[in-house]
Amino acid sequence: MIRDRGRIKWTSMMLPEHVKMLRDWVKEDQYEQQKEMDEQQLELMNEILAEAIEFDQYVTITHYRNRNYEIVIGKIHYWDEIVHRLHVIDRFQEVHRIPIDTIADVRMTNI
């Protein structure tokens, strides 16, 4: 039976710079592209955000950060109109400052 080691057997013949470039290329391949929002989605998110601020409810916010989508669950503490950022406090009392143009989805959450 042939025991093939896959990528391991080729990395010994490569320069360290090439190995690093290949690892960076694999990592870059996992990046996600930021999606465009249409007017209806923006209006729906605006209504949910207004309701969450008014009634002090938990929301789940999906936003784009560091080339990937992240999820934050918490209460909206403050809306900064000058820099267009939401200040969200999660259950561990950590403050997340989320730019409004990076938000992809907002949903009400029951905790």
Pairing of strands 85-90, 68-80: antiparallel
Secondary structure element (H or E) that encloses residue 17, with its range: helix 16-29
pLDDT tens digits, 9-25: 666 677 888 888 888 88
Instruction: Give residue-wise pLDDT tens across range 40-97.
Output: 999 999 999 999 999 999 999 999 998 889 999 999 998 999 999 999 999 999 999 9
**C-alpha span between 52 and 68 (Å, rounded):** 25
Sorted by where each begins, the domain ranges of the chain are 39-108
CA angle 34, 37, 43 (to 5 degrees): 145
Is the domain spanning 39-108 CATH 3.40.50.720? The answer is: no
pLDDT of residue 37: 83
Instruction: Please give the pLDDT value at position 52.
Output: 93
Tell me the pTM. Answer: 0.74
Q: What is the mean pLDDT of residues 100-104?
A: 92
User: Does residue 37 or residue 59 have the better pLDDT?
Assistant: 59
Residue 6's pLDDT is what?
A: 62
Over 70: is that where the pLDDT of 5 sits? no
Residue pair 104/32 in contact (Cβ under 8 Å)? The answer is no
> What tens digit of pLDDT does each residue of 68-80 get?
899 999 999 989 9
